[in-house]
Structure 1
């Protein structure tokens, strides 16, 4: 193998007498470098877009959420609350109640989620701290609500509008004969005191109110909730916390992390990432056809040298390894150069924000070692396969 590696390096770094071979080899090298650079940059861009997209949902979603296995609500006892408070891995937790209901304002109506939250919600969720577009966060034990910017626009609803009531209608439980509106709905007037703004979809999703008010409208008991949202302390073992939570709730409730709470979004982002990776891998495969052609032409050009080596006792396997190693080395060197160029482009975009989506928002890119390993592994593997195909042309019949 050392003999084959020595010859392969000589062939790789020395020019051929046939200028056409030098040109094809140069084209193959450029194709490997550009393909590697493009694949790394695109994966870094999609990593940035992934983090950028998830940053919106993370404002709504807690690190962990406890939800009922069956139905829309469950009961949490004071003992379970104390056990949650005593868990060292939990920074805070908040009891929530949410349900789709009907909102009415000035002749316009909107069906969306009413979400009741307790006083700990501001410690568990960053929404109330960082994303209030106008106004303030609601006060406990009041009829105050915080609405999304999308809901505000659809209903033409502003803050502290006392001329037109902002009303909520919640279907009542029971199977009795409905003879009036009061029999069909629990109804109350709300006071909008804040508007949050995050993204187009999320801004039309929730109206936040006090937990006790939501329980009253939904005819819940004081210890009946739709979920418990939990914020973890930094660098804790999520799996270990989930096991402890399952023990507290006796496996009667389901515990979901952020990825499970947004399974559809995560699946869509992962599918897009895989699709882009496969498309650019196909581009690299096409570029590697140049490598196969260059190596085959090199085999034919060095045919007399190979005959000499064969007559001196070299085995066909060793002669094949010369071109296998030559192509693999070319792929490795081209991959390293392409990765270096791609890393430089990504870092420049991160630092100087040369490409902008809007006047204030730069195109998001994220440098990760995972992408480095994926790209380098891809180019080396495909380069090895291409070299293996080309080196298979070295046969005893060729040398006869």
Structure 2
């Protein structure tokens, strides 16, 4: 066994005659345990929050979206659709028409987007899971719509209010004088359901059938504003998007879900990184206790160190004793903190100990990646702290 390591273990696990040093060591260990526990829980919390946030996007955005580079809409032909049908990475796709509209309900008005979708849209996104009240679009009924909960609140609109329809209006294209009484294409719809999701999503869409949108906007039969795609492997979305972009050419733009929500993804990742930095700073502060504990131990064991030095132990080997001691102190503290952290994360995931609302537990997710981050951070910082503390030892200190 390594001589320095053996002595370090003896010093770490054996009580000294000086109670103050014992107390300082316990405080240092407790600081490492708490900081390790906190860092792991924070990282697990952000992992859960990221997964939860991304799940909300599953209802509003497809895996891939194809739009026209020039103009709002484009015409589909058999060759275009054949490219999608022949691609093994594409599970299914939906035709979409999207345009900004005015909404009128009673004496209230709101600006939103009408989104006409075909019957396959529910297979492309998880919009069914987002339905808060009522039902999704049913093609057996005409002039129906599903709107965001926030829009319904602003318009004071309920589901299945048969006495008063929701009016969807879009300005007629053209130049010159416009008669105010005939300036809009209009469509009255009956609201079948409300969907929920992110704040932006709830305030954005009025879903109608594709044929209703074509009729409102006076589009041709094969005219759409976008195609939304579901792919077999979401992790390969960048590669599939690049392949489609090369096949379709510069006339079209193929975007992934991450590109469609670039700001959202950046905010989530930035918050996670900033939180990691903050708690790493807390760990560094906690490790000052470790440095103090080791220095106190060095002073307390000075006579023993002189004996070891006189017996032929080098200064470097004596330094290693306290490097090992500091490293072991932080390592075992980290293990205890991680064990407690893993237990708490699994308990929160299973039983929802901490709630955001009455029906929504704070999301957490266990990931080995977070374990690796904590182990790496604590190990490196603990080693640095031990090196700093042991640097006090030199020949002058031993012989003094």
Both structures adopt the same fold (TM-score exceeding 0.5): yes
Residue pair 2:93, 2:124 contacting (<8 A) in 1 also = yes
Question: C-alpha deviations, 1:16-51, integer Å up to 9, x for none?
Answer: 222211111111011111111121122222222222
Cα distance in 1 between the residues matched to 2:118 and 2:326: 64
Task: Assess if the C-alpha contact under 8 Å between 1:46 and 1:273 holds in 2.
Answer: yes
For residues 296 and 22 of structure 2, the distance between their equivalents in structure 1, rounded to whole angstroms, comes to 10
Map 1:227-376 → 2, pairs under 5 A: 227-234=226-233, 237-376=236-375
1:130-149 pair list within 5 angstroms: 131=131, 133-139=133-139, 142-149=142-149
Identify if the C-alpha distance between structure 1 residues 141 and 353 changes in structure 2 by more than 3 Å, giving closer, same or farther.
Answer: closer
- The 3-state SS of whatever aligns with 2:293 is helix
* TM-score, normalised by the number of residues in structure 1: 0.91
Instruction: State the shift of 1:71 in Å.
Output: 4.6
Aligned residue for 2:42? Answer: 42
Tell me, in whole angstroms, the C-alpha distance in 2 between the residues paired with 1:317 and 1:297: 19
Give the deviation of 1:98 after TM superposition: 1.3
> How far is 1:367 from its partner?
1.0
Aligned residue number for residue 32 of structure 2: 32
Match in the other structure for 2:100: 100
Give a deviation string over 1:54-81, Cα, whole Å, max 9, x none: 3222211112222334553344432111
Q: 1:75 to 1:9 in 2, by over 3 A?
A: farther
Q: 2-side partners of 1:136 and 1:62: how far apart?
A: 17
8 Å contact 2:35–2:283 — kept in the other structure? yes
SS at match of 1:328: helix
Q: What residue number does 2:115 align with?
A: 115
| Partner Cα separation in structure 2 for residue 338 and residue 200 of structure 1 | 37
Deviation of residue 200 (structure 1)? 4.7
Give the drift of 1:96: 1.1
Gaps of 5+ in 1: none
1:285-315 CA distance string (max 9 Å, x none): 1111110001111111222232333334333
| Distance apart, 1:107 and its partner CA | 1.8
Q: 1:288 & 1:265 partners in 2: Cα distance?
A: 35
- Is the deviation greater in 281-290 or in 208-217? 208-217
Report Cα offsets for 1:235-292 as digits up to 9, x if no partner.
7733332233123312433322222222222222222222222222222211111100
Contact 1:101/1:114 (8 A) holds in 2: yes
Distance 1:76 1:395, change over 3 A: farther
Q: TM-score, normalised by structure 2?
A: 0.91
Range with bigger deviation, 83-92 or 156-165: 156-165
Residue 138 of structure 1 contacts residue 145 of structure 1 at CA under 8 Å; is this kept in 2? no
**How far off is 1:160 after superposition?**
4.6
CA distance in 2, matches of 1:72, 1:4: 73
Cα distance change on mapping 1:360 and 1:189 into 2, 3 Å:
closer
For structure 2, the residue ranges without an aligned partner over 5 or more in a row are: none
CA contact (8 A) 1:93 1:229 kept: yes
Over 3 Å counting, the alpha-carbon distance change for 1:26 and 1:165 in structure 2 is: closer
Q: Distance in 1 between matches of 2:109 and 2:234?
A: 44
CA distance in 1, matches of 2:225, 2:17: 77
Matched, 1:178 2:187: no
Provide the secondary structure at the position in 2 that maps to 1:237. helix
> Following TM superposition, by how much is the alpha carbon of 1:168 offset from its aligned partner in structure 2, in angstroms?
1.6
Query: 2:384 aligns to what?
Result: 385
Q: What is the CA distance between 1:233 and its match in structure 2?
A: 2.1
Kept in 2, the 8 Å contact 1:37–1:339? The answer is: yes
- 1:202 is aligned to 2:201: yes
Aligned residues, how many? Answer: 399
Partner of 1:13: 13
Secondary structure class of the residue paired with 2:157: coil
Preserved CA contact (<8 Å) 2:148 2:205: yes
Q: Distance in 2 between matches of 1:269 and 1:236?
A: 18
- Any idea what the Cα deviations from partners look like across 1:91-123, whole Å, max 9, x if unmatched? 111121212210112121110111111121122
For residue 317 of structure 2, give the secondary structure of its aligned residue in structure 1. Answer: helix
CA-based RMSD of the aligned residues comes to 2.4
